Chain A
Amino acid sequence: MNLKPTIGIETHIELNTNTKMFCRCKVVDTEEPNISLCPTCIGLPGALPVPNEKAIRYITLLALATGCAITKKGMFHRKNYFYPDLPKNYQISQFDLPVGENGKLEIVIDNEKDYVEIERVHMEEDTGKSSHEGTGRIDSATSTSLDFNRSGVPLVEIVTKPVIQSSKVAVAYIEELRQLAIDLDISEGKLEKGNLRFDANISVAPSESDELGTKVEIKNMNSLRSLERAIDYEIKRQSSAIENGESIIQETRHWDESKETTTSMRSKEGSADYRYFSDPDLPNMVLSDEFVNQVKDSLPPLPHENRNKLVETGLDLSDANVLSKSEKWILELYFEVFDNTKDSKATFNWITGELQGQMRKLEIKSLPEWFSPAFLSDVIKLIDENKISFTSGKVILEELIQKDTTPDDVAKKLDLYQENDESAISEIVNEVIKDNQDIVERIKNGEDKLVGFMVGQIIKSSGGSINPGIAKEILSKELNL
């Protein structure tokens, strides 16, 4: 049976506001529990929520950047469920009037553009953190301990339509969304800190069917590796169940990273289980045209716009995608260096290969103050003009990262400039030919591979200052090869 998977992803992005969503408690990043709390975020009776203007601005940025239509008169709803990390017994969220709807996000797959359709972008609040004390196993815990520092931190939820066909597309989508949040400066985008967390809804159906199969939700993943493996595992599990004639149960499953399997957590809730109703504490949220236009005007260059600019310099889409997901200074460095060299591929390779490789080796996260983008352009140009070898370029770069100097100074100090004067090179070549008559004889008798040996000898007698390409060229000429 030919089967096709369909995936929809719900992503929660923690915004990097100074204070929480519905109270003015500071958002703190600390292990010290319960130090930033007030009656609102621990759900004491009588406390009233007041939304954070910056969070509304941030979600509007994200909704506009994903091409969503903005709901001008929106509303907050209560999503009711009982769990100790939710002290009010409901989460303030949005239901049928989210901030944004019907958008799309451009992604790059195999050097081609693709789009993931976005169903909605809505605002909500995070819960506290619970840990289960006792034997370490959740099902035999003796008590639950709670830290409410995270309770009320603004969360944006982005829901895709069920349009994703593979784990590869899912990963590309999350990478793009993460970069967008970073470029918009609305989140730190650190997966390891849980700034982005995602749930995947996965179903499998016969290829020819227009209807989707029964969906299974995998909750709370926060690494791309988990996302990829959980989706692949789940597609396989559901496919073999269907092939064996078993039915798929609509449920929520948990991805177990150590066992690399998903296990059933509970039967899936429908929206009726949450008894949504409009929050009587929060009147209609009206986003005026003036506000929306002001937010629109403040949009920075988006990742797909950066990619387009990079492609204009001559890079292919896949390389442009890599750079569009780099730190901002790397992107700026690329454009500055390219302006001088006009060689997109060499600029890309030197920045993403050598420069970042050496920085990783030296364990430094940013370039030293003295390092000017012109240094990298100079190195690339010197190689291009055959004035230094590629290997010398690497040596120079290494020096430039570690010492306050210039490419020219390093090349002179380490004697890395190549001899390009043909008559001077010819002189050395003829010298080497004279000293190696037996080899020359063998080359003339057809032992081609000995040409390499001769080139080596020429470079050796020049003290490494001759470009191997030119040496070979002149040698061939002298030997009439």
Chain B
Amino acid sequence: MSEKFDITNIAKLASISLSDDEKQKLSSDLSVILDHVQALSNLELDTNIEDVYIHPLEKELVLDQDVEKPSLTHDEALSNAPKASDGKFIVPPSLE
């Protein structure tokens, strides 16, 4: 199968750095795996996506009424904070 993926981007998403040799080896390994899985595309499915979507739980979702329930107090909520100040959680600086 022709390569339909960008190994550099996959490495970036996985937060790993790969040498050129490793990229080449993993690319061919991944191609083999994808070819194998490709067999699924040959199945003829005329079913609605909603009907075949697999979820680990077979149950249906239960919804709750929009009624307030008491929970943690302010102090309890902050008790696990590594650091707190003026009622807020304090964490190391983060940038967008």
Contacts and interface: CB of A to CB of B under 8 A. Distances in A.
A130 interface: yes
A138 B71 contact: no
Contacts of B96: 138, 265-266
B78 A34 contact: yes
A142 interface: yes
Nearest to A252: B96
A146 B67 contact: no
A97 B55 contact: no
Interface string A267-286: 00000110100101011111
Given A35-B74, A145-B85, A284 B55 contact: yes
A280 B61 CA distance: 11
Contacts of A132: 93-94
B72 interface: yes
Interface string B57-68: 111111111111
A190 interface: no
Interface in A9-65: 17-19, 23-26, 32-35, 37-39, 42, 44, 50-56
Contact of A286 (B61, B65, B74, B91): B61
B77 interface: yes
B8 to A, nearest CB: 13
B50 interface: yes
A409 B68 CA distance: 52
Interface string B31-46: 0000000000000000
Contact of B64 (A26, A52, A146): A52
B90 interface: yes
Nearest to A73: B50
Nearest to A27: B68
B53 A97 contact: yes
Contacts of A18: 66-68
Interface in A122-149: 130, 132-134, 138-139, 141-148
B93 A141 contact: yes
Contacts of A142: 93
A84 interface: yes
